[in-house]
Structure 1
């Protein structure tokens, strides 16, 4: 059987069942092996589709953060999301299984590119183009392992393709430090392979800089976090747009706000709007902003013009809903992975931790000025770090941030009153434990 067909057949057999509808996972026939420039290009396009799949950034992985973080409520009747919001998460949860499976499918697609592209001999596949493809694969694998680390802790490091069901089994989980070390290794490998161009839908060297800034923030490596955030902030290609809604309203795409966003279309749809919009707008509104978040966003001193993230249905319902994802045709909204606003807040936090409070305040106030809220007067390390946390809460209200932001700072228990520290990470899906005896469960599940 063709190698690529074996790979994806295996993944479909052993992966967890998708909770939401399965998206197109490549733009070409997955049974087509990578043998020349054309099939290599098709495979790298497929890698981005994996990243944007419903199980990953198209829906379920962000939902794990939304529904865990306390500012988004579940209004439907299905059990899997209800488990998350009620703090009764189990290892059989469909959202967890879908997210885990989709991330590993992305990793294995990257692995296949990393192995098969270097030896290809096709005059249409130049050395520079090969390097670009390999850099993209390394960077997306890095992002995938980063997301596994912040969600599940240390995981199995699978760094080679899967050709048969026996491949890549029996691998023990690495520690959290080892998993993060692999993220840095992949980002370091990606950087020299990529061009220093601006592309908001594909990985470039600049995307790697942004991912490095985020990585170093999570690792509390403040000097490096500041250094890499500055690379983007000082680049004229990236600017905060005004007002806040300008990066998403009126069908905007690829604005100067965006560092990396995933593009969707009629044939490859983003699942978010289905879950955020009310029935009157062709959605199901089963994710909804909490009353507390609605209050914050509507407060002129907190949300400012970020109130455009939410709207209310007409009477008698008067239901609040999120409108970051809203487009017609439905499902064609971008997924926002990294915005320049995040780099400002990464640098603000890093500078505060380094004691450079004046510069930290300037970065924080750049975000507050754009939001049209009063400028902060925080002047100590402690007050600035807390101010940045508060700002991130409303700035990235419907992006993949709140739960992981609290987790990296050790504040889940304090803020969300979750007293069992075992619940600060997600469970490994039971189906994966059963499929591979070397894979151990997180404590408490």
Structure 2
């Protein structure tokens, strides 16, 4: 019997056909059975999902740039014609990079769904591998939650003033029973299913305490799932839920010191502050499409920093995040130099999906805003970041302080647009003289959401377009 062990092992032409509809309804299945026989099949399927995630079309570049170039942090100079329309926030249904993000996020869910819909795993996996089987189940639930959360943030109508409060189709099957006609769930339905998958992941990981996969930071884990819970809760302003995740790990990992900050980002292996990184190795070579090339590099370097950012974000000159190792003038352009520093075609920088500094900021915000607020403790956690960046601690805590610190600490990592959206803030016109300038984008504008790709609209008759497109 033929076994399909990984979607990414298929010829790329089949992959493109498969990705044409969010239903992911065959072409893949036409290549053979998708039955799992042993732990090796499980591991290969799950690792195939990571390979899709780290691709530049998803977390390897597009997901991160989606939160930066459409904000008040950076803009596209159009040097290689990458992201000028993202930067202007002037998009249509046929934007190739928007479609790539949509397709690859959904594709990364297909293998987890194959795993999660196999009801006979216990009979197929021998007894000594049960712990590893449970661990992979945890990974599958967690990746399914993360991918749909990313799709909701980029394509959903969560914080728009227009629309029908639509989220995205939440795919729970490899071969959808609805075929190609898959309607969008509501935002609330997406939220509840994400919560369910996170809870299932946590339970599976707890039942895998002796797994040989424990401790590998290049795979999802129990701690990474708690980090995801904190991120999800913060986005939905469900601060009690965010707190339940962040409290589990906020004191477990060390904050990177100012002395080690530059080297932490330059390291090709996960550092102490990392919770989950998508590994970039020679087989994942992104070539000139790697994220380092888009932030700088002779051949690309489309993404520049607004020159007014330093004053607008209120950086101090002593702050390591302000230093020339992290941000500086390069060939007449202000650049991100320290995060994803690889400038060769290997693109070997791991993608830091979850690190403790974000979780601590989530924890501080949750403490400050949960149903029983703890502002004094929230201030302690907020100050753990500037205390390790050669920056001044905050005397008091407020939403402005939290957002200011998030902007400085998470700069270039893809968070800014979503922070502005959830706090109903305008995207300021940072510099009208810049090319591909988006101008002032008012809070709640339809422009905060990407259009559903035209190919999906054509192939999925139940799909509804976002307002404005």
**Bin of the TM-score, shorter chain as denominator length:** 0.7 to 0.9
Supply the distance in 1 between the matched residues of 2:110 and 2:146 (Cα, whole angstroms): 13
Q: 1:179 aligns with which of 190, 207, 211?
A: 190
Consecutive unaligned residues in structure 1, runs of 5 or more: 18-28
Q: Could you say if the C-alpha distance between residues 139 and 6 of structure 1 is closer, same or farther in structure 2, counting changes exceeding 3 Å?
A: closer
Cα distance in structure 1, aligned partners of 2:318 and 2:420: 19
How far 1:303 moved relative to its partner? 4.3
SS state of the match for residue 126, structure 1? helix
* Matching residue of 1:397: 411
| Residue 435 of structure 1, aligned match among 437, 459, 466 | 459
Q: Does 1:254 pair with 2:270?
A: yes
Matched, 1:138 2:141: yes
Shift, 1:386, TM fit = 0.9
- 1:178 & 1:133 partners in 2: Cα distance? 25
TM-score (norm 2): 0.82
Q: Aligned match of 2:380 in 356, 362, 373?
A: 362
Residue in structure 2 matched with residue 20 of structure 1 by the alignment = none
CA distance in 1, matches of 2:96, 2:128: 40
What is aligned with 2:171?
158
TM-score (norm 1): 0.86
In the alignment, structure 1 residue 13 sits paired with structure 2 residue 17: yes
Aligned to 2:163: none
1:343-422 equivalent positions in 2, closer than 5 A = 343-354=359-370, 355-379=373-397, 384-412=398-426, 417-419=440-442, 421-422=445-446
Report the Cα offset of residue 78 of structure 1. Answer: 5.4
Following superposition of structure 1 onto structure 2, how do residues 21-170 of structure 1 map, counting pairs within 5 Å?
Answer: 34-77=36-79, 81-116=83-118, 118-119=120-121, 121-123=124-126, 126-153=129-156, 154-162=167-175, 168-170=179-181
Greater shift, 104-113 or 348-357, is seen at 348-357
State the distance in 2 between where 1:109 and 1:134 align: 11
Relative to structure 1, is the Cα distance of residues 229 and 301 closer, same or farther in structure 2, using a 3 angstrom cutoff?
farther
Relative distance call for 1:298 and 1:362 in structure 2 (3 A) is closer
CA contact (8 A) 1:427 1:441 kept: yes
Residue 284 of structure 1 pairs with residue 295 of structure 2 = no
Q: For structure 2, list consecutive stretches of 5 or more residues without a partner in the other structure.
A: 22-30, 157-166, 430-438
Check the 8 A contact 2:34/2:114 in 1, yes or no: no
Q: Which has the higher contact order (CA 8 A, sep 6+)?
A: 2
How many angstroms apart in 2 are the aligned matches of 1:142 and 1:199? Answer: 20
Pair 167,251 (structure 1): closer, same or farther in 2 beyond 3 Å: same
Write out per-residue CA displacement over residues 95-142 of structure 1, whole angstroms, 9 at most, x where no aligned residue: 211100000001112111212474362438722121111110000000
Q: How far 1:180 moved relative to its partner?
A: 1.2
Determine if contact 1:138/1:187 at 8 Å carries over to the other structure.
Answer: yes
Verify the 8 A CA contact 2:291 2:347 in the aligned structure 1: yes
CA displacement at 1:176 relative to structure 2: 0.6
State the distance in 1 between where 2:109 and 2:445 align: 28
Q: Distance in 2 between matches of 1:189 and 1:72?
A: 37
CA distance in 2: counterparts of 1:390 and 1:229, whole angstroms? 20
**Shift of residue 318, structure 1, vs aligned partner:** 3.2
For the aligned residue pairs, the C-alpha RMSD in angstroms reads 2.9
2:255 pairs with one of 234, 240, 249: 240
Query: Residues 280-303 of structure 1: CA distance to partner in whole angstroms, max 9, x if unpaired?
Result: xxx521112221235568942584
Paired position in structure 2 for 1:321:
335
The answer to whether the Cα contact below 8 Å between 2:217 and 2:276 also exists between their aligned partners in 1 is yes
Question: Which residue of 1 is the match for residue 216 of structure 2?
Answer: 199
**1:433 Cα deviation after fit:** 0.4
SS in 1 for 2:447: helix
Question: What is the aligned partner in structure 1 of residue 347 from structure 2?
Answer: 331
